[in-house]
């Protein structure tokens, strides 16, 4: 398997090499998918950071406010899922 950075830096060479070995590969599609993957990975990291922030806030609250904050966190998670679905489907 080739490293994605090698593919990025040598896209034409990789495309030619794959073709010479009888593989029909769309390198542009590979690069597009890698970009989407990295964007989604960034979104996941942002959501994790927000979750950790909210979890820290929840631990400091009394029971009534804790329930409210948990609902807020669930809504935030649902918004993230809806965003993903809207963007990718």
- In tens, the pLDDT along 26-62 reads 999 999 999 999 998 898 898 889 888 888 877 777 7
Q: Give the pLDDT band (50/70/90) at residue 9.
A: very high
Neighbours of 12 (CB within 10 A): 8
d(CA 28, CA 59) in angstroms, rounded, equals 47
Residue 10: per-residue pLDDT: 96
d(CA 76, CA 51) in angstroms, rounded, equals 9
Residue 74: per-residue pLDDT: 80
Torsion of the alpha carbons at 41, 44, 45 and 47, rounded to the nearest 10: 160
């Amino acid at each position: 398997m080739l490293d994605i950075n090698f593919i990025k830096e040598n896209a034409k060479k990789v495309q030619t090499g794959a073709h010479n070995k009888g593989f029909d590969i769309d390198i542009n599609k590979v690069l597009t998918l890698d970009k989407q993957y990295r964007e989604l990975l960034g979104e996941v990291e942002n959501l994790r950071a927000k979750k950790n922030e909210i979890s820290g806030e929840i631990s400091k609250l009394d029971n009534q406010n804790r329930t409210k904050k948990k609902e807020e966190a669930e809504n935030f998670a649902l918004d993230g899922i809806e965003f993903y679905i809207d963007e990718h489907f």
